[in-house]
Amino acid sequence: MMELKDRFIINSLIGTLAGIIVGIFTWMINIGNPEGRSFVLHIVMSGIHGLIPCGAATVYAMESWGLTKSTIVHATITLATIMAIELPMKWFRWNIEFVIMMIIYVVIYTIIWIINYSYWKHTIRKLNEELKYFKKNEE
């Protein structure tokens, strides 16, 4: 089984790459940066923006934590990342744009949580059925 440290590194690298790709894509859509920031700063911050939440997703692999604790910790880290990067970079403003972005964040986070919950519920149900089958065959 993959160690937590290895999982964290892999998640972080995937997140960084995804963040950079999204950063390049958004830069191209916006045709540069109207705030006058450099392309390099935009890409570095996009990479960090991907790295932190994806690396933090490792909390879901901590078996001693329940789904609720993992979700609260990950959601807090992700929200802190948004506040620490997106607002200072002026990717969103403190107005209706920010409210809309927060609603989108909550909806997307909820969808991801439901998918994870459903997956693990299905996996546990399947494992329990297999255990019943093996127990039955042992007798």
Nearest to 58 by CA among 115, 106, 13: 13
Cβ–Cβ < 8 Å for 51, 77: no
Amino acid at 74: H
Q: Are residues 46 and 58 in the same domain?
A: yes
Say how many domains are in the chain: 2
Cβ–Cβ < 8 Å for 56, 90: no
Q: Which residues, 6+ apart, have CB-to-CB distance to 10 below 8 Å?
A: 2
Q: How far is CA 20 from CA 14, 26, 27, 90, 101, in A?
A: 10, 10, 10, 17, 20
**How far apart, in whole angstroms, are the C-alpha atoms of residue 18 and residue 46?**
9
Q: Are residues 4 and 53 in the same domain?
A: yes
Q: Residue 108 is part of which domain span? A: 93-139
Q: Are residues 105 and 127 in the same domain?
A: yes
Q: Are residues 7 and 68 in the same domain?
A: yes
Per-residue pLDDT of the chain (139 residues; tens, 9 = 90+): 579 899 999 999 999 999 999 999 988 887 666 667 788 999 999 999 999 999 999 998 888 988 889 989 999 999 999 889 988 888 887 889 889 988 998 998 899 889 988 998 999 999 999 888 887 777 6
Q: Are residues 104 and 51 in the same domain?
A: no
Q: Are residues 5 and 69 in the same domain?
A: yes
Cβ–Cβ < 8 Å for 109, 78: yes
Q: Are residues 97 and 39 in the same domain?
A: no
Q: Are residues 25 and 11 in the same domain?
A: yes
**How far apart, in whole angstroms, are the C-alpha atoms of residue 40 and residue 49?**
14
Amino acid at 102: M
Q: Are residues 81 and 109 in the same domain?
A: no
Q: Are residues 34 and 82 in the same domain?
A: yes
| pTM: predicted TM-score of the whole model, two decimal places | 0.74
Q: Are residues 136 and 101 in the same domain?
A: yes
Q: Are residues 86 and 99 in the same domain?
A: no
